[in-house]
Structure 1
Amino acid sequence: MKRVLSIILGGGAGTRLYPLTKFRAKPAVSLAGKYRLIDIPVSNCINSEIHKIYVLTQFNSASLNRHLSRTYQFSQFSEGFVEVLAAQQTPESPSWFQGTADAVRKYLWMLEAWDVDEFLILSGDHLYRMDYSLFVERHRATDADVTLSVVPVTDKVASSFGLMKIDATGRVIDFYEKPKGDALKQMQVDTSTLGLTPEQAKEKPYIASMGIYVFKKQVLIDLLRKNLDQTDFGKEIIPNSAQDYNVQAYLFDGYWEDIGTIEAFYEANLALTQQPQPAFSFYHEDAPIYTRSRYLPPSKLLDAHVTQSIIGDGCILKKCRVSHSVIGLRQRVHQDCVIEDALLMGADYYEPMSESSRHLTRGKIPMGIGEGSVVRKAIVDKNARIGRNVQIVNKEGIEEAEREDLGFYIRGGIVVILKNAVIPDGMVI
């Protein structure tokens, strides 16, 4: 694995995850109360003994850069590094990144100087645990030019992915990015050839790309240099290379979730609270997920009733009821609150203890969830100040709304309270 260089794509504006991406890049969004999305691919690389890691960023990348620099510091006696390559304008390339392939192309001059055999291309907004060494070994064993990691998917979600057909050797013979209608039906295959049972194959009749690729070094350089008009791996580079190159499919049989939308992000976070065993678990001693060490105190629960929930470090929950929720770092929940099916992202810092008393703040609403408030089926972003007796319950069952002036959005029926928002006492959302 010392002969592999990993490139993690930080993504663009992250419009599908807006408003969580209003102030931060998509990979910097909080996950499971204490992690960030970028921790998943970086940790997978470290656990796979791939220690040369670049992260390509372009949009709102300040918090992502800060997190990476504070978290991943390898020994000075090793070759390991996690470095950010930000979009930049040069005389030869005056434009910003135009797509996934274009982002890598802009830094080819530096990447090709590395004495490596393969480039591993990863995405920054997926939730999964994967040993990339098995992926790379399969790539080498089949003498592939390109290998895609694939999963079988259902009819319901198939049109959101790049779909493919493969032959008996695993070689990709047809690839179509996000097909619709008749084009989608034509991409149906018998996935039992991948080892699925007949029932599973009937339920998941499509082979989808995970957006994870291994390229032979020279093959990637050639593809990017020869096809300067092609800016995206999934839409252009991969489909157009299937005819002339040995493009192989590698079946990934573990849990994998693309959490690039508000609904998928919300569901994936709350799924972590499942009993007895969630589909994805952070309790894996052999392949831990790393994140920044914050040295926070343990959480304090004062007469709180908590069921099927995750509580992050440094929280104070007082005489409240919390069920099926994820509570992030430094979160304060005051008495008589009800938190159900909610994701509270916590806070970036503590306010002085005196600020928990309203009269000491001259009427200012303190950070956290105020007394008597109800938060149900909602995401509350960091540093939000929720007043007393607030109802965040989507009372009218609205699917979509944009009320930035009032500090919230509704996406797929999920209320999203903005970062740093102030919700006044008694407000009903």
Structure 2
Amino acid sequence: MLPMQQHRGLLQGQRLPVGKGLLPPSQQRRWSRKAQGVDVQAVQAPQAPEVSQSVAATPVMNIDADINKTVLSIILGGGAGTRLYPLTKKRAKPAVPLGANYRLIDIPVSNCLNSNINKMYCLTQFNSASLNRHLSQAYLSSVGGIHSQGFVEVLAASQSNVNKNWFQGTADAVRQYMWLFEEAVRDGVEDFLILSGDHLYRMDYRDFVRKHKESQAAITIAALPCAEKEATGFGLMKIDGNGVVTDFAEKPKGDALKSMQVDTSVLGVDKETASKRPYIASMGIYVMQAKALKELLLNTFPNANDFGNEVIPGARDIGMKVQAYAFQGYWEDIGTVEAFYNSNLALADPATAQFSFYDRDAPIYTMSRFLPPSKLMDAEVVKSIVGDGCVIKPGTSIKNSIVGIRSLIGADCTIEDSMIMGADYYETLEECEYVPGCMPMGVGDGSIVRRAIIDKNSRVGGKCQIVNKEGVKEANQEGKGWVIKDGIVVIVKDSYIPPGTVI
């Protein structure tokens, strides 16, 4: 095995766990201590008559010891990412930068590693180059080993003799690679953990898988208890007294919404929370029994494209057991520019932050870049996060903002309520000569940036004002290097904004 990479967190260096057990002994006292040392009976989920089979009883299984052998994670990278455009113009949605040092894909991958799951595929079909590069450089040499046989790989849409179409949806993406997943089943995988690549949360999947096993379900859905105000924006589920899903409704309103109220305490939610949050929303995260998934995608619903709207409701209709699992932590779907912007800025304010990268027992891993410490030269920084390798010159004020890796911010700048993503590389003087006026990547002297996102490798000249001066909600000036979405100015990656520009 290649030498172990060191992965950095914002607070302190974190090493990516390696080896047969994946997690070192020092990290066995985990944030979900109840997940330790619990034996459950591994059982086959009861299936509809069409898929029932006679199977031999399996031995008692220890979730923590065996999960890296019996569970394979499939991370759905999403489609073209149109709601996140232009952040997805040159990259897949899971490769979008997050929190100064990270990318969105680091969240599900880290959750898997912290849950002792080390077999991961990420399915995508748009702009997969940067995602592939990040995963290979961040995890490839550290996850797998002679004993653990772990991996993190990108599976991009491709033509074959059987199927010449692109992915048509979440279910179709998994179906097109079912031949590969069947190989994993032959090697001992019993369940597939299906995740999304654009969610922000911290979750111990061992509890999730344990509930799936204990309930003998064909499919288990992660559910988020929510209040009526939030419920209208989600796909909701109705459950019986045992937590078995009996009905689905997509973004219901009025009487249809009222009819979806349930007693969430049956899922382990405390009584006070259950009374305030009587609805359960699907998080788009599932554990599926391998045999049931194969039967559903290849035989029962061979033309279904989506898990949430077609396959899972159909599985319930034919008699498969669909179970709900309550997740009570912070979770955010980062599907739009506004949600992405708000989630990032919330990280910078300790008073309002609901998610933190500072957790020694469940760290978020990323690529080891070995960058120098950031240099702040007589600058004011308030309620902000500054990534590695940045240079911030004198007289600059940064408030409530995220400053990404390798950012260069000139003198006397004002950065407020903004996200500066930084740069992919340090530029030499020779490289800079190819740019008009040799304007370096970053923000030039005397510029003002408010309520904006400046994507990577962008060049904002001196004395610019990126402030949405007209206060518009939507504008498309991509030819000039910028757009406005949800009132937020987004400077497109690799753009050149001339000195003195006012937006």
Query: Is TM-score (shorter-chain normalized) higher than 0.5?
Result: yes
Distance 1:131 1:197, change over 3 A: closer
SS in 2 for 1:215: strand
- The question of whether the paired residues in 1 share the 8 Å contact of 2:243 and 2:266 is answered with no
- CA shift for structure 1 position 156: 3.9
Structure 2 counterpart of 1:43, one-letter code: S
Distance 1:216 1:322, change over 3 A: same
Structure 1 counterpart of 2:455, one-letter code: D
Measured against aligned partners, the alpha-carbon deviations of 1:32-66 in whole angstroms (never above 9, x if no partner) come to: 01100001001111110111111111111110011
The equivalent position to 1:118 in structure 2, one of 170, 179, 191, is: 191
In structure 2, the partner of 1:25 is 92
SS in 2 for 1:95: coil
**Map 1:22-171 → 2, pairs under 5 A:** 22-73=89-140, 74-77=143-146, 78-114=148-184, 115-171=188-244
Measured against aligned partners, the alpha-carbon deviations of 1:174-193 in whole angstroms (never above 9, x if no partner) come to: 01233456544432334455
In structure 2, the partner of 1:378 is 452
In structure 1, the partner of 2:59 is none
Whether 1:280 aligns to 2:280 is no
Range 269-278 or range 82-91, more displaced: 269-278
**Cα RMSD (Å):** 1.9
- The question of whether the paired residues in 2 share the 8 Å contact of 1:316 and 1:332 is answered with yes
Whether 1:15 aligns to 2:89 is no
The equivalent position to 1:335 in structure 2, one of 407, 411, 416, is: 411
- 1: CA distance, partners of 2:460 / 2:406: 15
- 2: CA distance, partners of 1:270 / 1:378: 11
- 2: CA distance, partners of 1:51 / 1:291: 15
Structure 2 counterpart of 1:419, one-letter code: K
- 2: CA distance, partners of 1:61 / 1:20: 14
- The question of whether the paired residues in 2 share the 8 Å contact of 1:175 and 1:242 is answered with no
Measured against aligned partners, the alpha-carbon deviations of 1:330-358 in whole angstroms (never above 9, x if no partner) come to: 001101100000000000111226888x9
Whether 1:400 aligns to 2:478 is no
SS in 2 for 1:160: coil
- 1: CA distance, partners of 2:436 / 2:495: 18
SS in 1 for 2:183: coil
Measured against aligned partners, the alpha-carbon deviations of 1:137-175 in whole angstroms (never above 9, x if no partner) come to: 010011111000010224344343221001110100001
Structure 1 counterpart of 2:157, one-letter code: A
Structure 1 counterpart of 2:421, one-letter code: M
In structure 1, the partner of 2:440 is 366
- The question of whether the paired residues in 1 share the 8 Å contact of 2:267 and 2:325 is answered with no
Whether 1:304 aligns to 2:373 is no
Structure 2 counterpart of 1:217, one-letter code: A
- 2: CA distance, partners of 1:70 / 1:344: 23
- The question of whether the paired residues in 1 share the 8 Å contact of 2:424 and 2:457 is answered with yes
Task: Give unpaired runs (5+ residues) of structure 1.
Answer: none
Whether 1:242 aligns to 2:316 is yes
Structure 1 counterpart of 2:175, one-letter code: R
- 2: CA distance, partners of 1:223 / 1:375: 51
SS in 2 for 1:242: helix
Measured against aligned partners, the alpha-carbon deviations of 1:180-217 in whole angstroms (never above 9, x if no partner) come to: 56544432334455555676456534210110000111
- 1: CA distance, partners of 2:297 / 2:436: 60
SS in 2 for 1:363: helix
- The question of whether the paired residues in 2 share the 8 Å contact of 1:177 and 1:234 is answered with no
- The question of whether the paired residues in 1 share the 8 Å contact of 2:243 and 2:267 is answered with no
Distance 1:185 1:276, change over 3 A: closer
- The question of whether the paired residues in 2 share the 8 Å contact of 1:151 and 1:209 is answered with yes
**Map 1:137-286 → 2, pairs under 5 A:** 137-180=210-253, 182-191=255-264, 194=267, 200-201=273-274, 203-225=276-298, 226-243=300-317, 244-276=319-351, 278-286=353-361
- 2: CA distance, partners of 1:217 / 1:72: 26
Structure 1 counterpart of 2:367, one-letter code: R
- 1: CA distance, partners of 2:253 / 2:366: 39
- CA shift for structure 1 position 279: 0.8
In structure 2, the partner of 1:352 is 428
TM-score by length of 1: 0.95
- 2: CA distance, partners of 1:340 / 1:152: 34
- 1: CA distance, partners of 2:230 / 2:166: 31
- The question of whether the paired residues in 2 share the 8 Å contact of 1:176 and 1:239 is answered with no
In structure 1, the partner of 2:492 is 418
How many residues get paired? 427
- CA shift for structure 1 position 425: 1.2
In structure 1, the partner of 2:50 is none
In structure 1, the partner of 2:62 is none
- 2: CA distance, partners of 1:294 / 1:135: 33
The equivalent position to 1:313 in structure 2, one of 385, 388, 391, is: 388
Distance 1:46 1:346, change over 3 A: same
SS in 1 for 2:350: coil
- The question of whether the paired residues in 2 share the 8 Å contact of 1:331 and 1:346 is answered with yes
Range 140-149 or range 202-211, more displaced: 202-211
Percentage of matched positions with identical amino acids: 60
SS in 1 for 2:160: coil
- The question of whether the paired residues in 1 share the 8 Å contact of 2:304 and 2:310 is answered with yes
- 1: CA distance, partners of 2:455 / 2:361: 31
- 2: CA distance, partners of 1:204 / 1:111: 37
- 2: CA distance, partners of 1:67 / 1:196: 37
Distance 1:132 1:195, change over 3 A: closer
- 1: CA distance, partners of 2:193 / 2:209: 8
